[in-house]
Amino acid sequence: MELLHWIESIRTDWLDRVVLAITELGTEYAFAAVALWLLWCHNKKQGFRLFPVFFVGMTLCEALKGLLHVARPWVQDPTLRPVDAALEDAYGYSCPSGHSLTAGCSFGGGALAARRGWLKGLLWAVVALVMLSRVYLGVHTLVDVLAGLALALVCLLAMQGLYALCDKGKLKDGWIYAGLCVLATAAVVLTQTDLVGSAHQSDAPKLLGAALGLLAAYWLEGRYIRFSTEGTGWQQAIKYAVGLGLTVGLLKGLKAVFALAAPGFWAMDAVRYCLVVLFAAAVWPLTFPLIRRIGGKKTPAACTNFTQTH
């Protein structure tokens, strides 16, 4: 807490704004921006496989928060004043840090896969900045963010091991996604029952819905859709920019609709994230052949490399 009090003493309005921008790199939107670019424009297999790394990490994060019951810093020390603008996303328990885990899974995962040293350093620097931003804003302690990073690394390495088995034909990706649904269900039970107290607000329902949507999209893609990630530069830009905008718009729009229809009902978050993932991974790719025809180029044959692992 002494570190947080010292940081509080050096805060300025302009630095607060800079750090609030940096901390957004640890949100689900930043992760989606990375994962959907891979899925739609670069490597479908890597795109599908990046989602479970994040989902597993966040599911375990929610479970640990429910088991550890670590209060937020300002609850532990009422004299501590966090940055007000950061409080909207600082709900539930404090350890591990979800933002740190998200940054570790997305940018840390990219760093592990990168071949160039400068790129590895840049991506790890982003992870470090997100971690420091959470401490600066007063919504996490140093232990919280280190725990979030450690959990991200464990998930990255564990999932890499499982995917290696898939590539050798000893396991199927679909079984991993089904297991993720079971894991997310357990997290919902843990956080929505008296095991941790009904007042605990968590992201577990969102993770359950996203896991179910991913499993359904994976099956639809392998059986019926089989989209290609190929395209010219401007075609890729259209796919990505329009698709990302529609995905984010759907996520926010459904939130407003469900808030009116069933305010405070946790299952609505599960339904919302299930629909959004289905749209991103199964519905929007149906437009890719049309986008390619607009460019006057023949639509390539369906990509089957990934579907062979189904």
Distance of CA 162 to the CA centre of its chain: 19
282-290: average pLDDT = 94
pLDDT in tens, 224-275: 999 999 988 899 999 999 999 999 999 989 988 888 877 767 788 899 999 9
Q: Is the pLDDT of residue 182 over 60?
A: yes
CB 28 within 8 A of CB 55: no
Q: Is 63 left (phi over 0), alpha (psi -120 to 50) or beta?
A: alpha
Exposure string of 61-84, with b = 16+ CB inside 10 Å and e = fewer, is: bbbbbbeeebebbbeebeebebbe
pLDDT digits (tens, 9 = 90+) for 139-179: 999 999 999 999 999 999 998 899 999 999 888 888 998 98
Can you tell me the distance from the alpha carbon of 4 to that of 142, in angstroms, rounded to the nearest whole number?
9
**pLDDT-above-70 percentage for the chain:** 91
Distance (Å, whole) CA 80 – CA 78: 5
Q: Can you tell me the mean pLDDT for 297-302?
A: 51
pLDDT at 74 over 50: yes
Digit-coded pLDDT (tens) for 13-71 = 999 999 999 999 998 888 888 889 889 988 888 889 888 888 888 878 877 887 888 98
Q: Please tell me the predicted confidence (pLDDT) of residue 43.
A: 84
Which pLDDT value is given to residue 261? 77
Length of the chain: 310
Convert the pLDDT of each residue in 12-26 to its tens digit.
999 999 999 999 999
Which DSSP state fits 138? T
Structure confidence at residue 198 (pLDDT): 43
Domain count of the fold of the chain: 1
Parent domain of 231? 2-309
pLDDT reported for residue 67:
82
Structure tokens at 211: 């896991």
Q: What pLDDT was estimated at residue 282?
A: 94
Give the range with max mean pLDDT: 199-208, 209-218, 294-303.
209-218
pLDDT of 127 higher than 50: yes
Quote the Cα angle for 34-39-45, to 5°: 120
**Long-range contacts (CB closer than 8 Å, 24 or more residues apart) made by 32-36:** 32/244, 32/247, 32/248, 32/280, 33/244, 34/106, 34/107, 34/110, 35/106, 36/240, 36/243, 36/244, 36/247, 36/280
Span of 53-57, 88-92, 198-202 with lowest mean pLDDT: 198-202
How far apart, in whole angstroms, are the C-alpha atoms of residue 165 and residue 203?
Answer: 30
Q: How many CA atoms lie within 13 A of 134 on its CB side?
A: 33
The answer to which of 190-194, 270-274, 294-298 has the lowest mean pLDDT is: 294-298
pLDDT on residue 5 = 84
Q: What is the mean pLDDT of the chain?
A: 86
Which of 59-68, 122-131, 220-229, 278-287 is predicted with the least confidence, judged by mean pLDDT? 59-68
